Amino acid sequence: MNISEIRLHAFGRPCHLVVDNSDARGEELLALCQRELQRLEHKFSSYDFESITSRLNRDAGTGGTVPLDAESRSLFAYISVLWEESKHLFDPTTRVLQDCYDGSGSLTATPEQLHQILTLVGWRNVVLDEKGARLARKGMLIDLNSCVRPYALDSLRKLLIKSGVSHAYIEMGQDAATIGKQPSGANWLTGVRVPQGSRAAIVRLKVNHQGFAVRGDFEQALTQLGERFGRALSPVDGQPIPGLLSVTVVAENCLTACSAASIARLKTEVTGLKWLEKLGLPWMAIDRQLICHGPLAPAR
């Protein structure tokens, strides 16, 4: 199969790009994608010192405003919609809560410390006006990487389509976006890990000319008093949310898939499953008893 591909890291995640090279433009197209990824990383990534995210975090509570261009405003508007749609559970300002837990997911902050840190949580404290954006309270932190990653994949997909590409696969972490099928006519497949007894198995899903996103990891679940919890933290009390451990969604683009998976994972189990059923998109969810649900779930 005549393809060009490259593996790299972007936004702190492994990235895999595959493009059709039948017209000998593969290397040129990969370079185009790399430049776009670098642009978006420099602009939005929390790992870049000069990004909008890093500047907002440094200037939190000082009254300093970070200017936003049209692209940035569009991204912030998208996050605001997710915040409203999730009834304020989707909240990038919960980044500060991660410092209250150790690597195993055990709470290290005292109740008093947690209460104080919760005063720094709330997307409503991200001020957006004609001048730009600012964080109202000193000590606030935001992390936009989980939103920018699917946006970046869709941006690369649009860039390649505009360049006349008919076959491509773009993957970053647990997100993916594709154009057409493989040049050979085979399906683009992506793997999702699912529980199988005491082990994990891999389900292969077709993602031709679609977007794909997974939120949550059942293998990294926390155990508290004999119950499993995902790693998503509530902006209300700072505790792990008793919701679905993992949600997979396939949609027309990566950002739509990410939005659906993110919101479903932040709801309680029953509410999240009902919400996914109403969407009409292909999906799979793993609950706290390690049972798979949804049209993409493997047959029991």
Segment 211-229, tens digit of pLDDT = 999 999 999 888 887 889 9
Residue 164 lies inside a defined structural domain of this protein: no
Q: What is the pLDDT of residue 223?
A: 83
Say if residue 119 is in the same domain as residue 215: no
Domain termination site, one of 143, 171, 204: 143
How much of the chain exceeds pLDDT 90, in percent? 88
Say if residue 205 is in the same domain as residue 120: no
Q: What is the pLDDT of residue 227?
A: 86
- Please say whether the dihedral angle defined by the alpha carbons of residues 46, 146, 141 and 83, taken in this order, is positive or negative: positive
Domain termination site, one of 143, 167, 200: 143
What's the pTM value of the predicted model, to 2 decimals? 0.94
Residue 175 lies inside a defined structural domain of this protein: no
Say if residue 223 is in the same domain as residue 282: yes
Say if residue 207 is in the same domain as residue 300: yes
Residue 219 lies inside a defined structural domain of this protein: yes
pLDDT > 80? residue 123: yes
Residue 224 lies inside a defined structural domain of this protein: yes
Say if residue 210 is in the same domain as residue 274: yes
Chain length of the chain: 300
Q: What is the pLDDT of residue 195?
A: 93
Residue 110 lies inside a defined structural domain of this protein: yes
pLDDT > 80? residue 300: no
Across 150-156, average pLDDT: 97
Q: Give the residue numbers spanning the domain of 102.
A: 52-143
> 224 is written with which tokens?
């508290």
Of the candidates 83, 82, 86, 120, which has an alpha carbon nearest to the alpha carbon of residue 100? 120
Say if residue 292 is in the same domain as residue 196: yes
CATH of the domain at 84: 1.10.3980.10
Count Cβ neighbours within 10 Å for each residue of 21-38 and write b for 16 or more, e otherwise.
beeebbeebbebbbebbe
pLDDT > 70? residue 1: no
pLDDT in tens, 64-94: 999 999 999 999 999 999 999 999 999 999 9
Residue 248 lies inside a defined structural domain of this protein: yes
Say if residue 114 is in the same domain as residue 192: no
pLDDT in tens, 241-259: 999 999 999 999 999 999 9
Give yes or no for a contact between 180 and 3, defined as CB atoms under 8 angstroms apart.
no
Residue 24 lies inside a defined structural domain of this protein: no
Q: What total of structural domains would you count in the chain?
A: 2
pLDDT in tens, 11-48: 999 999 999 999 999 999 999 999 999 999 999 999 99
| SS3 track for the chain | CCEEEEEEEECCEEEEEEEECCCCCHHHHHHHHHHHHHHHHHHHCCCCCCCHHHHHHHCCCCCCCECCCHHHHHHHHHHHHHHHHCCCCCCHHHHHHHHHECCCCCECCCHHHHHHHHCCCCHHHEEEECCEEEECCCCCCCCCHHHHHHHHHHHHHHHHHHCCCCCEEEEECCEEEEECCCCCCCCCEEEEEEEECCEEEEEEEECCCCEEEEECCHHHCEEECCEEECCCECCCCCCECCECCEEEEEECCHHHHHHHHHHHHHCEHHHHHHHHHHHCCCEEEECCCCCEECCCCCCC
Q: What is the pLDDT of residue 211?
A: 97
Say if residue 132 is in the same domain as residue 192: no
Q: What is the pLDDT of residue 224?
A: 82
Say if residue 136 is in the same domain as residue 233: no
Say if residue 198 is in the same domain as residue 134: no
Rounded to whole angstroms, how far apart are CA atoms 233 and 109? 14
Residue 283 lies inside a defined structural domain of this protein: yes
CATH of the domain at 202: 3.10.520.10
Rounded to whole angstroms, how far apart are CA atoms 253 and 52? 25
Domain termination site, one of 143, 174, 201: 143
Count Cβ neighbours within 10 Å for each residue of 261-294 and write b for 16 or more, e otherwise.
bbbbbbbebeebbeebeeeebbbbbbbbebebbb
Confidence of residue 102 (pLDDT cuts 50, 70, 90): confident
Say if residue 97 is in the same domain as residue 196: no
Q: What is the pLDDT of residue 213?
A: 97
Across 130-157, average pLDDT: 96
Say if residue 195 is in the same domain as residue 297: yes
